[in-house]
Structure 1
Amino acid sequence: MLLNTACQQEQEANSATVATPPPAPADTAFTAEPAAVAADSAAAPQAEVVLASSKAEKTAAWTYPGPEPLPGAILPQKRIVAFYGNPLSRRMGILGELPPEEMLAKLDEEVANWTAADSLTPVQPALHVIVVTAQGQPGRAGKYRLRMTNKMIDDVLAMAKQRDAIVFLDVQVGQSTLQEELPQLADYLKLPNVHLGIDAEFSMKDGGIPGRSIGTFDAADINYATQFLADMAKEHQLPPKLLIVHRFTQRMITNYDQIELRPEVQVVMHMDGWGHPALKKDTYRRYIQKEPVQFTGFKLFYKNDLRKSPRLMEPEEILALQPTPLYIQYQ
């Protein structure tokens, strides 16, 4: 599976190893902002797709907007539990922090935990790998981003195969754009087990430097991504693709009510902030629950969540959220 050789050329020109994206300022990880007014409008035909979400009787239910799921759709029939990071860096998440066998064994443990917490919703394991990393320096292309080689992606696909896991390719565009980066990944996104994540935190539309301020995506950017994936699914006769959209502040996603929902793509708005459980729940309420798009996700940080809390949130606490997250990510 070959990508454009510019991927390899740019990586070699910048660094022999993966540079860790500069972290967002700690004080802005959860910005206290007024709750947005939900504009309960939909850009696509609505269908009642109901998922029950409690541990036993599943008395609480949520109706997800959008087209009725096509055959082969993962959501809402399953819950995805994903490990995030980059295998070339121990600082970017659990995916690269541990040797592959230890990492996969830990993923097995989390899958078992979620299965025990909600035995009525099958768990789909996943590896969520950063394949375009934001950079603190402009690099040869001047875009403040570094593309990974196809070998690194192939290595993650091989690891995923050992657990029948799906794979998400995550893109931090820096000063580039989705229009420039996604076509480079087409040879992978045409595979039925490969999906997409896009990280607004490192989308520097104003020409800023990643890590010094929090970036943003507009509905127009997300609509480009969903159209790209929909075209890929139709061209290659694939089951619906998944799109994970990272979010933890108001400005990270603008015009959410203009995001177009397509039958070939399932959109997950993913609460990607770290902190104390109460703060994480509040951020979920403000920016995920109050600005619903389709499905929802929730992130747990093995290290950052413990900086101001003695423990990680338990699956049962996350299952109590409404809408109940169907995508769970560990970093």
Structure 2
Amino acid sequence: MKKTAIVSLFLFLLIIPLAACNQQANKEIKKVRVAEVTRSIFYAPQYVAIAKGFFKEEGLHVELATTWGGDKTMTTLLSGGADIALVGSETSIYVYSQGTNDPVINFAQLTQTDGTFLVSREKIENFTWDQLKGSTFLGQRKGGMPQMVGEFVLKKHGIDPHKDVKLIQNVDFANIANAFASGTGDFVQLFEPTASIFEQEGKGYIIASFGTESGHVPYTTFMTKQSFIRNNKDTIEKFTRAIYRAQQWVESHNAAEIAQAIQPYFKDTDLSIIEKVVDRYKSQGTYATNPILDKEEWNNLQNIMSEAGELPKHIDHKTLVDNSFAEKAMAK
């Protein structure tokens, strides 16, 4: 009887510190609400960071929500519905230009090229950009990065997007692919995996990459309000470190391995399509290999916005970009 009591007491004493450790571990997990502008293979490193446990190892639990559109994503961030937003850097410029005491700061870059492709209705063996002249071009939303890059590339090739083509840009982002499939337009600007799926189904043919044509830009970055950074520096540091680890993982692994890792986030897309899209993005250097958003990319972004007539005013790199967390993550 005494022996049983001693054993029970020993087990009880053993359980107490274990329970305390578990409680302490739970307290150290920090929830971070992230609003992504859309769900896209374009953002593969983000899903790798979640799937491979890089955020978890930093003591972060990422609660990911897809907010479908730059305006909605920024509204969610500004209203306190998210801690961090993954969206185009141009949105931070729009917010700052409207006047704010709490500007939105870009702290980690995820993608460094445009992610759209030019898709034709008919198969074209030897495509040249002047073949767009006189055609109907189904573009993206006015004021958004895809549309601004599209116009920038057309002008680069001597095409006036408002005179040389019939430009359609009043179709909602979510309905552009359906509009093209239904017969609207000779050419369309599409993201992946829709472009590859259309090609597979014979609905269209990928003939050019806007990302390759436009060069490096801070196309999609993680950003947050200045006040959040001020009050949560440790969280931003950990978040950026996890993203950098994911970027390095993506850089060092092949398309098949990356596709396998992110497949749970694209359950309705065939693994072969995911792999094809990842390979296409990797081959054109779309995924940033580190979170630094440099001055050259920032200025290229504003040049593209200016060409499209959408730049409210020029904003210095240091005003809306904070590379300190990226630099610290890379140093470690």
Report the TM-score range of the alignment, normalised by the length of the smaller protein.
under 0.3
Relative CO higher for 1 or 2, CA cutoff 8 Å, sep ≥ 6?
2
Q: Which has the higher strand share?
A: 1
More helix per residue: 1 or 2?
2
Q: TM-score, normalised by structure 2?
A: 0.27
- Relative to the length of structure 1, the TM-score reads 0.27
